[in-house]
Amino acid sequence: MTDSNHIIESAADNHIHRDDIGAKMGMWLFLFTEILLFGGLFLVYAVYRFQYPDQFHIAGMDLSTAIGTINTIILLTSSLTVALSITALQKQNKSLSIIMLSLTISLAILFMINKYFEWSGKFSAGIYPGSEDLLSRHNGEILFFGLYFVMTGLHALHVLVGIVLLSIILGMVVNKKITYDYTVKLENSGLYWHLVDLIWIFLFPLFYLIQ
Partner 1 sequence: MAHTEKKHHITPYSTYIIVWLALVIFTSITVTVAGISLGTYTLLVALFIAAIKSALVINIFMHIKFDESIFKVFLILSGTTLFVIFLLTFFDFLYR
Alpha-carbon distances of 103 from 94, 109, 120, 129, 205, rounded to whole Å: 14, 10, 26, 34, 26
Residue 179 pairs with which residues in a beta bridge?
182
Kindly report the backbone phi and psi dihedral angles of residue 129, in degrees, each rounded to the nearest multiple of 5, phi listed first: -55, 125
Q: Is 139 in the site for partner 1 (CB under 8 A)?
A: no
Whichever of 24 and 137 has its CB closer to partner 1, that residue is 24
Residues 6+ apart with CB under 8 A from 21: none
Q: Is 37 in the site for partner 1 (CB under 8 A)?
A: no
Measured CA to CA, the distance from residue 67 to residue 141 in angstroms comes to 20
Which of 39, 45, 41 lies closest to 210, judged by CA?
45
- Is 140 in contact with 59 (CB distance < 8 Å)? yes
Candidates 4-12, 73-81, 103-111, 133-141; binding stretch for partner 1 (CB under 8 A): 73-81
Whichever of 77 and 106 has its CB closer to partner 1, that residue is 77
Alpha-carbon distances of 37 from 60, 71, 139, 177, rounded to whole Å: 23, 22, 24, 32
Enumerate residues 89-118 that contact partner 1 by CB under 8 A.
90-91
Whichever of 25 and 113 has its CB closer to partner 1, that residue is 25
Residues 6+ apart with CB under 8 A from 113: none
DSSP state at residue 72:
H
Q: Is 16 in the site for partner 1 (CB under 8 A)?
A: no
Candidates 76-84, 112-120, 127-135, 140-148; binding stretch for partner 1 (CB under 8 A): 76-84
Residue selected from 79, 97, 104, 152 as contacting partner 1 according to rule CB under 8 A: 79
Measured CA to CA, the distance from residue 166 to residue 163 in angstroms comes to 5
Least distance between partner 1 and beta carbon 21 (Å): 6
Residue selected from 58, 67, 80, 174 as contacting partner 1 according to rule CB under 8 A: 80
Q: Is 47 in the site for partner 1 (CB under 8 A)?
A: yes
Candidates 3-11, 36-44, 103-111, 142-150; binding stretch for partner 1 (CB under 8 A): 36-44
Question: Which chain residues interact with partner 1 by CB under 8 A?
Answer: 13-14, 21, 24-25, 28-29, 32, 35-36, 39, 43, 46-47, 50, 65, 69, 72-73, 76-77, 79-80, 83-84, 86-88, 90-91, 181, 183, 187, 190-191, 194-195, 197-198, 201-202, 204-206, 209-211
